[in-house]
Amino acid sequence: MSSPLFVLLMGPQGAGKGEQAKFIHQQYGIPHVSTGDIFRGMKTREDDLARQVQAIMAAGQLINDDLTNQVVANRLAQSDCANGAILDGYPRTPNQAAFLDAYLQERGHALKAAILLEVDPFTAFKRAFGRVTAANGDSYNIYYRADGLTVRHEKSPNDEYPPKVVAVLPSGEVLKRRPDDADAHAVIVRIETYLRDTQPLIEYYAQQGSLLHRVDATQSIDVVSQAIKTILDE
């Protein structure tokens, strides 16, 4: 039996980690473990911890390392991760990276690849802030994938805030943003947080032999997917 395939997907918001995780899942059958999705999933809970997590996410800041590490350990202990997992959005800090190394090592496993989806901060902003979703799950981007969308700017009462960008389908359906993408300032804070806290991890993985692979994530989704396949098939 081949050893489990644990893969990291790194890159700022809007680099396309979610999209590429879907591709890796289809190709290699390993589950997509996104700490952002796990934390967003806490939205339906009413307890104090869930409320704290929502407030931190809405501000674009990071959840504390101990809680995040515990959430990941619980997820990786589930049976569908026996053959590996795609880690998306984790680790984000040196402490989380050290925790993951120790976790895998204790089980006789190791990371196979850390894939860095490289995109400049301005593109990352437009990809994250511009992404909108229809009720049926179809996704669009007001800057890049705006086929058929009408984009209008709604002034806020008394001009208190900058105009709100609203995307509407020909059917009249108003498209929704993910709550943590809705606030331009929070998106900027997330990109800044990435540059400050997560970027140093690139160096950490770069020092570990041939673990780190850089992919130009401004290319089309399919081209990026093929580059990832080439890396993982090696």
- Site residues for ligand AMP per CB under 6 A: 13, 35-36, 39, 56-57, 60-63, 68, 89-90, 92, 96, 180, 190
- Retrieve residue 96's tokens: 């989380």
Closest approach, Cβ 57 to ligand AMP, in A, equals 4
Strand arrangement of the beta sheet that strand 32-34 belongs to? 32-34, 84-88, 5-10, 111-118, 212-216
- In the complex with ligand AMP, the residue whose CB is nearer, 177 or 190, is 190
- In the complex with ligand AMP, the residue whose CB is nearer, 75 or 213, is 75
Closest approach, Cβ 141 to ligand AMP, in A, equals 16
In our burial notation (b when 16+ CB lie closer than 10 A, e otherwise), range 109-132 reads: eebbbbbbbebeeebbbbbbbbbb
User: What residues does 116 pair with on adjacent strands?
Assistant: 10, 214
Closest approach, Cβ 39 to ligand AMP, in A, equals 4
- Residue number with the smallest Cβ distance to ligand AMP: 36
- In the complex with ligand AMP, the residue whose CB is nearer, 102 or 150, is 102
**Residues 6 or more apart whose Cβ sits within 8 Å of residue 13:** 124, 127, 128, 181, 187, 190, 191, 194
Closest approach, Cβ 89 to ligand AMP, in A, equals 3
- Retrieve residue 123's tokens: 């593109």
- In the complex with ligand AMP, the residue whose CB is nearer, 45 or 152, is 45
- Retrieve residue 111's tokens: 């990371």
Closest approach, Cβ 145 to ligand AMP, in A, equals 19
- In the complex with ligand AMP, the residue whose CB is nearer, 16 or 89, is 89
**Residues 6 or more apart whose Cβ sits within 8 Å of residue 160:** none
